[in-house]
Structure 1
């Protein structure tokens, strides 16, 4: 609980709570002097003392307090008690809410940047593996053959939504509470808009009660939910890869060595996927922290600080950023054996639905009849230990005829597939390439979706750069205005 943050946890080095309290005080000196709320001569003296305090805080082991009530005594030592004239119309409520928001704002942009990089890596891999055929799974069981690139683009779509949520959340976060004082403003005619501009905000929080009492407790819950969703996406991907590690000959695994894998202390044959395990554990921690934001803020009256702890809220965002960073490391370390995945496809009957589809599409056989036929083919194949590539065409013809009899359709004029049609229906490459619906793995759709994802990522990168530039430009403008007080 509280507003202190370890230096290594800061999203932007040096921008701790003390730094932002200093920026707020600099802005108060400039604005209140310009607006006639603070005598110009006093503002100059206070500015000099404030700068002295800020400079001294950069010395090794110098105190950098994270609370208004511990910052102010140091300011009084440096500038005299008249420095408390800066506190006109201010409170720890609006000041610390603003400080927390500015730190979290930086953390959101850092998370967005890593989200961009990890998603871009997935898109690049999808392009590389657009024609790599692998089994996909539903309910934990091999379901259908698919392009690995298409599978990756499914994960990309989820991360695009995470980025969309993050951008929408940033819009709600990017509001300045300064000037709302405790909960209903002040009799001092503070220029809230100028304060927001100097601190890099897009707007002010409109309602003074909302600023520190409602929004400040609400935003951590929203950020926790977004971070949890990122972690869930990462965990789902990791578990899919982990499933292969239980196989004697996986078609996908981590390149050995480094931090990717480690050996067993007892079993020489084992190469444990440490990177996968560690990333999944971190993802679980993020979900725990994310859900914890709602639990900690639940069933409290407005004005309580339980869910406002900056270190806790920052840990959620930093954790999600680390999960994405490690996910990217996993992608860089993957070895995908396309030949082995084809063999795995031929060990199971993931192509069986295509038999029913082709019979209906090409020969008007009712789908449920074709489905029953395909099910009987699979039943026979498993009993005889036959792979799809080995299945006798004559036996398939017999099963089709028996199926028609079973469904009283033997005189319905339904014709079975030719042998070439039968073999093609069981070919994973043919299945993927024959997909005709939008959003499928066929080459034309893959090209379209990859291009669309690249455009989304370009837009995200521009958005991040613009937000960061706005903050930097605003702080630079504040520095310029503050130096005018120092140079008098």
Structure 2
């Protein structure tokens, strides 16, 4: 089994290397965790179980265990076939131990072997995905903490809407990926259940201990109904898996759209650092955000693979496997997507002055002006809103930024707006200083009081909370990795006990 993988970009690629820490002589240290690897683990577990339950006598168990171990050794040499098909491996076992070794297969079928193999691959893919989520959220928080209280524009319906802060903006995406991580952990519990011992779908007349098989392979338990375990669960659990991957691909796609949109501005405020962009063969001014497009392509690949799963699983009678193992492939594609996003985040440059200038160039603080009029001068919100809207129209028509609005003109427009609501002879209730403070981005952000708002104290609280969440996920992942490593050790010890005739009676 694979040991815990350290956070970082190299984590996914280092999986097989780190696996060496917990492997035994029964599986070569550099052996890939391919379908043969997992078939061999199932053969070892089945050997232990058939001896423990009395399906085969202990002396035959020794012969079976020796044959299984020899096949593992023979298939570890360079160029070996390493087939994951039991019917391809069984002749190798017979050649070593004779036909009696096939009693190890009692109560099994290629159906439950295949379903179990899928879950073993999916289980690892889920853990890899959670590690990628940990790394990506950590990278996002690193970006947020570079300047958490810096003003940035936020948009609704594609139009600048209100000023927020960089920390508020980034922690929004972290929160979305926090939810994804929770879904991944729930998915793990669903995936980590064993179909082994279900035979074709209706078990067998052998006293197969399915719970023991599950325990030996590190599963959380056995899927109870054998028909569901082999023929149904792989479809709906696969659907849950690709749905989890889809949800985070949509979140990543939104973030990538935000970054890509910056390249349409003449003065972007979130941009790839110099030296990390591509060039044009004809236009010397271009700095192409190639890595942005790479991540977006990876997100699209997640959606494409998940769609392939749905079409492959749609309207299938039970017993057919047209969708292959595309659920696992979708999870792996999601991990690749997050790894590329993590790399991209390290190349981003935030330009605080440009972001503030973008906000100051428009009227996204006008909501706060209406709020101040209601809160401090008892002006009905709709009146204040209408006044602020008229003020924006005037400012834009005269090419004025909010900071350049003449105070006298604001007083005049307020009187006109009040009159339209039959509130005549009401003087503008704000001083010029308060008027300009209400229209300032920093004043609006600092005035926010709600849970999860952009105000500095709330952003700091959210960042701290998200760090704690990531630490919790890291501990959870380490715990699951340890359980799998412990199960692998216990399986090897039990298998060696059968092989040497020293198994506990």
TM over 0.5: yes
Contact 1:282 1:323 in 2 (8 A): yes
Which of 275, 278, 294 in structure 1 is aligned with 2:291? Answer: 275
Which of 112, 121, 124 in structure 2 is aligned with 1:103? Answer: 121
Matched with 2:315 is: 299
Matched with 2:436 is: 423
Matched with 2:334 is: 320
Give the superposition deviation at 1:123: 2.2
Matched with 1:436 is: 449
Q: 1:331 to 1:125 in 2, by over 3 A?
A: same
Q: How does 1:473-484 map to 2 (within 5 A)?
A: 473-484=486-497
Q: Compare 74-83 and 396-405 and name the one that shifted more.
A: 74-83
Q: How does 1:83-162 map to 2 (within 5 A)?
A: 83-162=101-180
Contact 1:357 1:370 in 2 (8 A): yes
Contact 2:195 2:226 in 1 (8 A): yes
Matched with 1:163 is: 181
Measured in 2, the distance between the counterparts of 1:288 and 1:377 equals 48
- Verify: 1:251 aligned to 2:251, yes or no: no
Measured in 2, the distance between the counterparts of 1:58 and 1:68 equals 17
Measured in 2, the distance between the counterparts of 1:116 and 1:98 equals 27
For the residue of structure 1 that corresponds to 2:103, the secondary structure is helix
Contact 1:10 1:16 in 2 (8 A): no
Measured in 1, the distance between the counterparts of 2:312 and 2:403 equals 57
Give the superposition deviation at 1:264: 0.3
Matched with 2:388 is: 374
Matched with 1:6 is: none
- Verify: 1:395 aligned to 2:409, yes or no: yes
Measured in 2, the distance between the counterparts of 1:450 and 1:315 equals 33
Measured in 2, the distance between the counterparts of 1:241 and 1:374 equals 31
Question: Which whole-Å deviations, capped at 9, do the CAs of 1:158-182 have from their partners, x for residues lacking one?
Answer: 1011011111111111111111111
- Verify: 1:463 aligned to 2:481, yes or no: no
Matched with 1:21 is: 39
Question: Which whole-Å deviations, capped at 9, do the CAs of 1:188-212 have from their partners, x for residues lacking one?
Answer: 1111111111100011101111101
Give the superposition deviation at 1:292: 2.6
Measured in 1, the distance between the counterparts of 2:497 and 2:131 equals 35
Give the superposition deviation at 1:291: 2.8
Question: Which whole-Å deviations, capped at 9, do the CAs of 1:251-297 have from their partners, x for residues lacking one?
Answer: 1100122xx31100110000100000111011011112123322221
Q: How does 1:178-257 map to 2 (within 5 A)?
A: 178-257=196-275
- Verify: 1:485 aligned to 2:498, yes or no: yes
Contact 2:45 2:491 in 1 (8 A): yes
Question: Which whole-Å deviations, capped at 9, do the CAs of 1:201-243 have from their partners, x for residues lacking one?
Answer: 0111011111011101211111111111111111101111111
Contact 1:11 1:110 in 2 (8 A): no
Give the superposition deviation at 1:315: 1.9
Q: How does 1:36-47 map to 2 (within 5 A)?
A: 36-47=54-65
Measured in 1, the distance between the counterparts of 2:346 and 2:420 equals 53
Give the superposition deviation at 1:476: 0.9
Contact 2:415 2:427 in 1 (8 A): no
Measured in 2, the distance between the counterparts of 1:367 and 1:313 equals 52
For the residue of structure 1 that corresponds to 2:496, the secondary structure is helix
Measured in 1, the distance between the counterparts of 2:281 and 2:13 equals 37
Measured in 2, the distance between the counterparts of 1:218 and 1:442 equals 43
Give the superposition deviation at 1:449: 1.3
Measured in 1, the distance between the counterparts of 2:121 and 2:15 equals 8
Give the superposition deviation at 1:184: 1.6
For the residue of structure 2 that corresponds to 1:204, the secondary structure is coil
Give the superposition deviation at 1:79: 2.4
For the residue of structure 2 that corresponds to 1:62, the secondary structure is coil
Give the superposition deviation at 1:11: 9.4
Question: Which whole-Å deviations, capped at 9, do the CAs of 1:88-139 have from their partners, x for residues lacking one?
Answer: 1001111111111011100100000110111122223223322111101111
Contact 1:377 1:399 in 2 (8 A): yes
| Structure 2 spans left out of the alignment, 5+ residues | 1-11, 17-31
Matched with 2:279 is: 263
Question: Which whole-Å deviations, capped at 9, do the CAs of 1:396-420 have from their partners, x for residues lacking one?
Answer: 1111011111221114x46431101
Matched with 1:353 is: 367
Matched with 1:337 is: 351
For the residue of structure 1 that corresponds to 2:373, the secondary structure is helix
Contact 1:355 1:374 in 2 (8 A): yes
- Verify: 1:384 aligned to 2:398, yes or no: yes
Matched with 2:464 is: 451
Contact 1:23 1:199 in 2 (8 A): yes
Contact 2:249 2:302 in 1 (8 A): yes
Measured in 1, the distance between the counterparts of 2:197 and 2:481 equals 24
